[in-house]
Amino acid sequence: MRRAIYPGSFDPTTNGHLDVIERAVKLFDEVIVAVAANSQKRALFTVDERLDLLRRTTAERGINVIVSQLDGLLVEKARARGAVAIVRGLRAVSDFEFEFQMALMNRKLVAEVETIFLMPKEEYTYLSSRIVKEIARLGGDVSAFVPDCVAAALREKFASDGTGGHAPA
Ligand code: ADP
């Protein structure tokens, strides 16, 4: 049984994430998609909302993955779940430096878990959760970039006051 873990913020899930997940499930017997709960980044969606959107969108597409919350250190979860690999997506050179540092640090922490990088379809290389949120916040159409239920969730978040619940103090 070869198991991989794909960690991220998934705030929210985009077609780019799903592209990486689809590639990963072809390579491994089991893929755990782990939603980071204690990321430094301020999230628009709660962890439960992010888990729910990931579960719904993967189920809709018939992608068989385990979606779970990541609370502590990624490498510890990888080790506890017996994962042989950490999967990350690489979009552009700009991702490289940070990802390289993370991969080498994770290897220092747990030598037996490899980090592998998967490249999405070209059309998703410019796609990020951050840019999707920005477009949605400004009332733009994000339906080409995210699954329908994510587009609906974004509309709902920004419908009330346009701040997505993060109104300035
Ligand atoms: P994080 O906060 O860990 O970067 P993200 O949800 O932004 O969380 O990304 C999780 C992983 O998915 C990262 O490896 C990121 O590079 C990758 N990723 C995000 N968007 C895309 C995309 N459009 N194509 C390929 N990989 C992506």
The side-by-side arrangement of strands in the sheet containing 66-70 is 66-70, 30-36, 3-8, 85-89, 114-118
pLDDT band at 94 (very low <50, low <70, confident <90, very high): confident
pTM of structure: 0.93
Best mutation site among 94, 96, 128, 142 for ligand 1 pocket (most ligand atoms within 8 Å of CB): 128
User: Does 20 contact ligand 1 (Cβ within 6 A)?
Assistant: yes
pLDDT tier at 95, thresholds 50, 70, 90: confident
| pLDDT confidence band for 22 (50 / 70 / 90) | very high
What per-residue confidence (pLDDT) applies to 36? 95
Section 165-169 average pLDDT: 49
Position 43 pLDDT exceeds 90: yes
How many Å lie between the centroid of ligand 1 and the Cα of residue 157?
21
DSSP 75: H
Average pLDDT, the chain: 93
DSSP state of 145: T
pLDDT band at 38 (very low <50, low <70, confident <90, very high): confident
Can you name the residues that pair with 87 across neighbouring β-strands?
A: 116
- 8: three-class secondary structure by DSSP: strand
User: What angle, rounded to 10 degrees, do the helices at 47-60 and 148-159 form?
Assistant: 150
What is the Cα–Cα distance from 23 to 86, expressed in whole angstroms?
13
Measured CA to CA, the distance from residue 88 to residue 91 in angstroms comes to 10
pLDDT at 169: 41
Give mean pLDDT, residues 87-99. Answer: 91
Per-residue pLDDT tens for 124-152? 999 999 999 999 999 999 999 999 999 99
Residue 164 pLDDT > 80: no
Is the minimum distance from the CB of 157 to ligand 1 under 6 angstroms?
Answer: no
pLDDT of 162 strictly over 60:
no
Mutation test of ligand 1: which of 70, 88, 142 has the most ligand atoms closer than 8 Å to its C-beta?
Answer: 88
Identify the CA nearest to 103 among candidates 91, 111, 115: 115
Q: State the Cα angle at 147 between 39 and 15, rounded to 5°.
A: 65
Q: 166: burial class by Cβ within 10 Å (0-12, 13-18, 19+)?
A: exposed
HSE-CB at 41 with a 13 A cutoff on CA atoms is 15
Is any atom of ligand 1 closer than 6 Å to the C-beta of 8? yes
- Confirm or reject: Cβ of 68 under 6 Å from ligand 1: no
Q: Atom 9 (ligand 1): residue with closest C-alpha?
A: 8
Residue 87 · residue 24 · CB < 8 Å:
yes
Q: 101 pLDDT exceeds 50?
A: yes
Cis peptide before 12 (omega within 30 of 0): yes
